[in-house]
Amino acid sequence: MTDALLSVRDLVVEFPKRKTRLTALDQVSFDIRPGEILGMVGESGAGKSLTGAAIIGLLEPPGHIASGEIWLGDQRIDQLPYEQLRRLRGKRIAMIFQDPLTSLNPILTIADQLVETIQTHLPLNDKAARARAIQLLDEVGIPAAEKRIDDYPHQFSGGMRQRVVIALALAGEPELIIADEPTTALDVSVQAQIIDVLKRMCHEHGTAVMLVTHDMGVIAEACDRVAVMYAGRIAEIGDVRQIVKHPQHPYTQGLMGSIPSITQQVDRLVQIPGSMPRLDAIPSGCAFNPRCNQRLPRCTQDRPDLITTDQGHVACWLYEGATP
């Protein structure tokens, strides 16, 4: 925890409802080290986007952090007053959303938006800020950046817009970027390019990234480590190669097997029966137990916490007693 840039400890996010409270995130803990890309993967409703929103303080009411701590370096940020948190955003933590159109103001030129962001966070005059903006656009691969900087967002294609959004996120030289499904809205042939840009830029600038996605391909391409989320909890967290090649949690195993392979032909895909439970009907014990093909008797009663194995951390009773 000492060398971590972002440290999330036992984070619980709740949504009060009429009669009950829905626990959308339950005891989520993980670290991101400086310059590291951590993938958050899971199916819709697993809580991966919510984790990002909780870190940056953008939970939609009535959702709120019920307990747990979020540390950015040595500053605790989950209890910051609104104004301080607002200043933190963009400067120390930046955000990249799924749809580049919603992150860009349609009536301002790219130059206006970039220069404003740069000047908000860095003490630069107009000329220097513009030069920095052009440099950033150039770095993210916008051809003829000096000319295109005065264009409006609608004059860019989808992929180019997402590049601009990446430049915008990097403008304040943040320590952490939370990227929420940054490639989902893009065409396949553009996705690969955007992943490349994000990966390259963050490595060059030493920025840590929390990459939220449902796409295992994106994870395998971009991340150093992966957290697999299921029903508001982390099922497994570890090195990306380890998780892709040797998944431990039965859910991760099923998830990996259910993706059609390009290199081998199988007759039937591995399928996990059923679907993820809704938040108001999470089973007792391990949330995955009704769908699990390796269920033990205790899985229906006791909830497993993350167990450290020699290959990472996994929340599954199968690994109880495994030597770390």
Instruction: List residues binding another protein (CB under 8 A).
Output: 18, 43-44, 157-160, 187-193, 195-196, 214-221, 240-241, 244-245, 254-263, 265-278, 280-281, 283, 290-291
- Is there a cis peptide before residue 260, judged by omega within 30 degrees of 0? no
Least distance from another protein to the Cβ atom of residue 33, Å: 21
> Least distance from C-beta 131 to another protein, angstroms?
27
- Please say which residue, 94 or 229, places its beta carbon nearer to another protein: 229
Q: Which is nearer to another protein, 5 or 209 (by Cβ)?
A: 209
Name the helix (H) or strand (E) containing 69.
strand 64-72
Smallest gap, in angstroms, from Cβ of residue 264 to another protein?
Answer: 9
Q: Which residue number, 125 or 189, has a Cβ lying nearer to another protein?
A: 189
- Going by C-alpha positions, the residue among 195, 160, 291 that lies closest to residue 235 is 291
62 versus 206: smaller Cβ distance to another protein: 62
Tell me the two tokens of residue 190. 């553009």
Q: In the complex, what is the shortest distance from the CB of residue 180 to another protein, in angstroms, rounded to a whole number? A: 16
- Taking the complex as a whole, the smallest distance from the CB of residue 147 to another protein amounts, in Å, to 18
Backbone angles phi, psi at 274, to 5 degrees: 75, -165
Its sign, for the CA torsion 240, 242, 245, 251, is negative
Residue 260 vs 324, nearer CB to another protein: 260
Give whichever of 7 and 253 is closer to another protein, judged by the CB atom: 253
Distance of closest approach, residue 178 Cβ to another protein, in angstroms: 21
Quote the least distance from Cβ 45 to another protein, whole Å. Answer: 9
* 64-72: strand order across its sheet: 21-32, 6-16, 64-72, 75-76
Residue 89 or 214 having the CB closest to another protein: 214
DSSP notation for 123-149: ---HHHHHHHHHHHHHHTT-TTHHHHT
Contacts of 315 (CB under 8 A, 6+ apart): 233, 234, 235, 236, 249, 286, 304, 305, 306, 307
Rounded to whole angstroms, how far apart are CA atoms 14 and 221? 33
Query: In the bound complex, what is the minimum distance in angstroms from residue 207's beta carbon to another protein?
Result: 22
Q: Which is nearer to another protein, 6 or 229 (CB)?
A: 229
Q: Which two tokens stand for residue 223?
A: 């991340």
CA atoms within a 13 Å half-sphere pointing along the CA-CB vector of 80: 20
Is there a contact between 278 and 45 (Cβ–Cβ < 8 Å)?
Answer: yes
